[in-house]
């Protein structure tokens, strides 16, 4: 953004500072503007925050200005905008990046003077350069060209070493793959071919020793295994035969003692891995032992399949049964009947739920949540119904208390109207009886209120 186009900018009432900046090869520009006196008339700015002036702060690169910090004048709201993610520290961040790029140029030039393999260092240097922000300054363009000149001078020998290293790495990968092969004659010929190709490729520079070490190690692994195999062939075959007989016995035990089909399946798969690793016991013996071992495996997997088929069917039945119980519970809820008989029906649904069996963890959880939600509706409604009945009983008992108290008052009047001692004693006796009834009713009301409060 060009500071000359700032809203409210008048050059007559502005302080403009432009300073060359050697680090990035451009200029730093600071513009104070928009100051007003107490009557709102434009004046020369003094300091941001004192007379309401705004501040535009940025850089000029070859005539192109870039805003870093823009604090609007007080008359324009006074808010601050930033041209970069670095906020107030943009110039400092730019300076650091420009200096760092100069350091990378020098580092590249030092690396290229060395005699070692510089490819990895150059790649790291380029990655470091690419990771930095491009501020678009003249110095950055200069340093970028300087860096490219250094990198382009990387001689053809390094590129040739790289290509040779890649070719030899492919041969190493092939050698490693061949190292565990037991096709002795074919693999031995393959190693000879690989070595001829290795010699034709030529030098890979500093990578040669490491690559040759890997290639030689793979070849040695194969040769050692080949030598040991032929030195101990009869013993190895006998040992492989014993191992396979043991695996047959273990497979039979797994089949006979299944308690958990998943764990048993994992054990059976592990036995198969051990079988493959046992090696050859001779073609004829191998065929005979394999027939026994594979027969046990087939029987195991057939029984496992039957078990899971049956379990899935039972789970399906359990799902259907539990869905039916949910529907039945909903029917009971819809009746809005909370009699003893209906309540027992709802309680019995829990027993039927347990008897319905396992529907699988995921289905069980979803069905139980649905079933529990319907039951909660019933029990909450039943509780509310009970509370309403308690309140009705309390009302009736309170009305009875009022009636009895009225009777006590009438008896009291009769007591004062007569002088007959016998009648007075009879009236007083009846009054005491009625007061006892009132006390009993009051206790019953307290018990009912306690139940409501629970």
What are the domain boundaries of the chain?
3-83, 97-154, 159-231
Angle at 79 between CA 74 and CA 81, to 5 degrees: 135
Distance (Å, whole) CA 190 – CA 223:
12
Distance (Å, whole) CA 415 – CA 392:
35
- For tokens 């273990």, name the residue: 250
Task: Give mean pLDDT, residues 193-208.
Answer: 86
Neighbours of 125 (CB within 10 A): 19
User: What burial class does residue 312 get, using C-beta atoms within 10 Å of its C-beta: 0-12 exposed, 13-18 middle, 19+ buried?
Assistant: exposed
Q: What is the pLDDT of residue 229?
A: 79
Q: What is the pLDDT of residue 356?
A: 86
Please give the model's pTM, rounded to 2 decimal places.
Answer: 0.36
Distance (Å, whole) CA 51 – CA 37:
7
Backbone torsions φ then ψ of 27, nearest 5 degrees: -130, 145
Task: Give mean pLDDT, residues 301-310.
Answer: 88
State percent of the chain over pLDDT 90.
31
Of residues 117 and 93, more confidence is placed in 93
Backbone torsions φ then ψ of 50, nearest 5 degrees: -100, -55
8-54 pLDDT, tens per residue?
Answer: 888 888 999 999 988 888 899 999 998 988 888 888 888 776 778 89
* Tokens read off for 262: 């998943």
Task: Give mean pLDDT, residues 164-174.
Answer: 91
User: By three-state DSSP, how is residue 340 classified?
Assistant: helix
CB 19 within 8 A of CB 13: no
Query: Which residues, 6 or more positions from 1, have their beta carbon under 8 angstroms from its beta carbon?
Result: 58, 65, 66, 67, 70, 83
User: By three-state DSSP, how is residue 26 classified?
Assistant: strand
Distance (Å, whole) CA 136 – CA 104:
17
What is the residue-averaged pLDDT of the chain? 87
Q: Is the pLDDT of residue 115 over 60?
A: no
Backbone torsions φ then ψ of 21, nearest 5 degrees: -130, 105
Task: Give mean pLDDT, residues 373-396.
Answer: 85
CB 346 within 8 A of CB 378: yes
Compute the half-sphere exposure of residue 285: CA atoms within 13 Å on the CB side of its CA.
14
Distance (Å, whole) CA 171 – CA 198:
7
User: Quick one: which H or E segment has residue 66?
Assistant: strand 64-71
Distance (Å, whole) CA 25 – CA 374:
78
Task: Give mean pLDDT, residues 181-193.
Answer: 91
Identify the bridge partners of residue 20 per DSSP, sorted by sequence position: 27
């Amino acid at each position: 953004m060009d500071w000359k186009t700032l809203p409210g900018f008048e050059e007559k009432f502005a302080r403009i500072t432009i300073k060359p900046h050697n680090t990035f090869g451009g200029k730093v520009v600071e513009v104070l503007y928009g100051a007003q006196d107490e009557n709102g008339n434009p004046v020369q700015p003094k300091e941001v925050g004192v007379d309401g002036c705004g501040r535009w702060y940025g850089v000029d690169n070859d005539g192109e200005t870039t805003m870093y910090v823009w604090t609007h004048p007080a008359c324009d709201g006074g808010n601050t905008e930033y041209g970069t993610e670095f906020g107030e520290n943009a110039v400092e961040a730019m300076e650091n990046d420009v200096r760092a790029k100069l350091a990378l140029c020098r580092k590249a030039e030092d690396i290229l003077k060395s005699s070692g393999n510089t490819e990895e260092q150059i790649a790291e240097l380029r990655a470091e350069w690419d990771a930095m922000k491009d501020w678009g300054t003249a110095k950055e363009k200069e340093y970028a060209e300087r860096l490219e000149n250094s990198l382009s001078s990387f001689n053809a020998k390094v590129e040739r070493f790289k290509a040779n290293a890649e070719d030899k790495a492919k041969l190493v990968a092939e050698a490693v793959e061949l190292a565990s092969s037991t096709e002795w004659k074919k693999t031995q010929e393959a190693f000879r071919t690989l070595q001829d190709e290795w010699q034709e490729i030529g030098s890979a520079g500093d990578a040669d020793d490491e690559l040759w070490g890997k290639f030689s190690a793979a070849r040695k692994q194969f040769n050692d295994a080949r030598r040991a195999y032929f030195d101990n062939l009869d013993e190895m075959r006998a040992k492989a035969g014993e191992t396979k007989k043991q695996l047959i016995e273990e497979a039979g035990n797994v089949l006979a003692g299944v308690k958990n089909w998943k764990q048993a399946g994992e054990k059976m798969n592990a036995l198969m891995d051990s079988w493959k690793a046992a090696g050859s016991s001779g073609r004829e013996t191998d065929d005979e032992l394999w027939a026994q071992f594979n027969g046990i495996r087939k029987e195991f997997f057939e029984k496992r399949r039957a078990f899971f088929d049956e379990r899935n069917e039972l789970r399906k039945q359990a799902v259907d049964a539990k869905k039916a119980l949910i529907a039945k519970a909903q029917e009971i809820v819809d009746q809005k009947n909370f009699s003893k008989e209906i309540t027992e029906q709802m309680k019995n649904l829990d027993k039927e739920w347990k008897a319905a069996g396992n529907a699988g963890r995921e289905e069980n959880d979803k069905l139980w949540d649905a079933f529990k939600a319907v039951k909660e509706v019933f029990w909450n409604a039943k509780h509310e119904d009970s509370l309403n009945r308690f309140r009705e009983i309390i009302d009736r008992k309170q009305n009875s208390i009022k009636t009895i108290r009225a009777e006590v008052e009438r008896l009291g009047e009769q007591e004062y109207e007569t002088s007959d001692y016998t009648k007075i004693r009879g009236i007083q006796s009846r009054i005491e009886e009625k007061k006892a009834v009132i006390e009993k009713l009051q206790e019953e009301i307290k018990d009912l209120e306690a139940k409501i409060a629970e």
